[in-house]
Structure 1
């Protein structure tokens, strides 16, 4: 085979992003015509693949984060704190932006009626023919904590064999991502949209809250542009090119509605932006569990919309406290579809006084377009990873200069003593 033929084949490779777009379009189109028995075949596949993802995700997090922290060196604990602080700040900014914009715009776009008839979209979905539970060895939160403990420990103790073992685990995880998860993701996404379209309730929610949905979608993209403009200015790169490199992760999250399930694609997209492997491997899985800017915008805007529909008073002090608490509590919803809204239910009832019907309306609206918030979450993770990578590189450069200065001082002192 000639070199030109090989280059031509590479040029026309059908990449992951177009595969995902085709899967979404086909799922929506075929969802209106396929019989239930055919749809349930894909629903069964999704159940099996979803169980495998649930099993693999904690191992992916452990296998990526632990050796990445070890490779960062003795300052790893500091970088964990910095990354967490940036992610939480981004989430808070998203919440306050959603609050301010909602108070200005939502009174003009809310429907006059029709919201009371909505139910949870999950209740209209088809069920698989059979299920095969694959319990994970440990939960996502346990995986994150374990990865932190092991990674930081490897920076302060001599653990040659253990470090090699975790690096081999990282190689295994990367193989599973490249050879199993990535190739099957388009089929998984197709099944999700096929089932959602046949359920019908998603379309009902979107039509009823069309103005709010469009408003929230615009806000999420404003947030993404803001994040990458800041990141691009900080690292000295074109922010829109960086955002373009993250589109495969955005599209994948649209299909999976899961930050954790999108980690492999987010990691690949982040590396395309020039982020170093150690920083990307620890920042991306970490942000998948703690950075929820898109989810924050959605919950804030939808909760205000429900309160306006019911005529409830919206007190600024209460909403500010709600946003601060929500930013912390959503860390307990690491990457599962719909996890953020289920975690927020306690705050909605205790702080905002939501009734059972109002909570049901929130869940229905949120889950119907869950993927937009998740896509915003994971895409913004790339901006945070780029900022942290720049800080790490600058810090290492300063440390190297300091070491060189110390070495020169030692040489000068030795010369002075010799003379």
Structure 2
């Protein structure tokens, strides 16, 4: 039998961008407005879905974590969260230090970490923050709950269910989460290429395409360099704690890194990650617990990309989006929690982050679409960073676990689902 060639989401996004820019050179304005109208309807549907996505992903994730393997799970979750936060702030300060030299025409309204005040300049993404080419009509779909309310409700529900012994409501909530995963995997993600086609068609028709593509290329280069630097830092810390050679540990995890690059899925990489983690000398029982768990809750590569992409867009629109440390500190702390609930589909992390991009950073639907396109372009690197960084966490947890065993203070960890 002939194997069917399956086009991945990344290739679809690239094709959509190329076609959008190509069609913008000859499609008349009424034709552009057709796709702007489609985008308007889809963006309203996306706005309606975001609170549902937050409740359907965050609440079951918190409830399931709370009913896990006790003290060991709590320590692992805390280490993974600290690692994720570190990646977010590492991305923030690195971007503030490099953007003045690499991205022209940007600005911030604060003094950066290097002590340099950047100047406000032109707004090369102006067409995305305004309706220069309007849709023919719109269909309002107001969400029944705002993003902050959805987050608070999810925390209350998840923590409450984690403390209760019954399973009925938890099972119902998990089924609702499955419905949301179907919504993301079968409706929203398949329609993203059409949506992004419309975004780049509109940008091309309004003459902003060259500047945006230049932004894309420079941000991708910056993120790739940060991605490698972050892995070196993570393994340097893990090696120092475990008194092991960090470069040797990182070399052992390279097969998992390569597998994640190809699959773009942390879950699909678990067998290879588990095998390589044990080869690093991690206790097999602990590896069987930490590796699947970190595939869900440790997304340092993803948060690094999201923070960098969001900063790049805000840098290019300083009049609309002033950058302050207080703003991004809150965004990174909340994003670290939201990453726990990221669904296991390509681009799942950015889907979980959309609500925070809107509520904290003020991104409209068009800028969210640009974030999705920029994020998915580098999706495999983020997944590889998540998986390989999880190996560093396993090394740290192995040291903690063996110390707990010596004190008789460790339970045998259960393999995470």
Identify unmatched segments of 5+ residues in structure 1.
248-268, 307-321, 345-362, 409-419
State the match for 1:13 in structure 2. 6
Q: 2:198 aligns with which of 191, 202, 215?
A: 191
Q: Which residue of 1 aligns with 2:50?
A: 57
Q: Provide the residue aligned with 2:328 in structure 1.
A: 327
2:150 is the alignment partner of 1:143: yes
Q: Structure 1: how far apart are the matches of 2:361 and 2:186? A: 33
Matching of residues 358-369 of structure 1 within 5 Å: none
User: Deviation digits for residues 25-62 of structure 1, max 9, x if unmatched?
Assistant: 11110111111111222221112222222222322232
1:120 aligns to 2:120 (yes or no): no
Does the aligned pair in 2 maintain the 1:280–1:385 contact within 8 Å?
yes
Q: Relative to structure 1, is the Cα distance of residues 371 and 125 closer, same or farther in structure 2, using a 3 angstrom cutoff?
A: farther
Separation in structure 2 between the aligned mates of residue 301 and residue 407 of structure 1, nearest angstrom: 48
CA contact (8 A) 1:41 1:128 kept: yes
Please give the residue correspondences for 1:173-322 in structure 2 after superposition, counting only pairs within 5 Å. 173-203=180-210, 205=211, 215-227=218-230, 236-238=253-255, 240-241=257-258, 244-245=261-262, 269-274=265-270, 292-295=306-309, 298=312
Query: Any residues of structure 2 matched to 1:156-171 within 5 Å, and which?
Result: 156-171=163-178
Q: TM (normalized to structure 1)?
A: 0.61
State the shift of 1:279 in Å.
Answer: 5.4
Q: Distance in 2 between matches of 1:201 and 1:163?
A: 48
Kept in 2: contact 1:126–1:195 (CA 8 A): yes
How many residue pairs align between the two structures? 334
Q: Is the contact made by 1:65 and 1:148 (CA closer than 8 Å) also made in structure 2?
A: yes
2:37·2:136 contact (CA, 8 Å) conserved in 1? yes
**CA offset digits 1:102-155 (Å, max 9, x no partner):** 57x459x789xxx65867223364222111121223233333333333223222
Give the unaligned 5+ runs of structure 2.
107-120, 236-248, 274-290, 336-352, 412-417
What SS is found at the alignment partner of 2:25? coil
In structure 2, relative to structure 1, the CA distance for the partners of 1:372 and 1:228 (3 Å cut) is farther
Counterpart CA distance in 2 for 1:395 and 1:239 is: 19
Match of 2:276 in 1: none
Q: Does the Cα contact within 8 Å between 1:94 and 1:293 map onto a contact in 2?
A: yes
Cα RMSD for the two superposed structures: 4.8
The one-character-per-residue Cα deviations of 1:58-80 (angstroms, maximum 9, x if unpaired) are: 22232223223333325566666
Q: Is the 8 A contact 1:83 1:384 kept in 2?
A: no
8 A contact 1:95–1:323 mirrored in 2: no
In structure 2, the CA distance between the partners of 1:137 and 1:206, relative to structure 1 (3 Å rule), is: closer
Q: For residues 277-323 of structure 1, give each alpha carbon's deviation from its aligned partner in whole angstroms, at most 9, with x where no partner exists.
A: 76555666x998898431475379769xx8xxxxxxxxxxxxxxx87
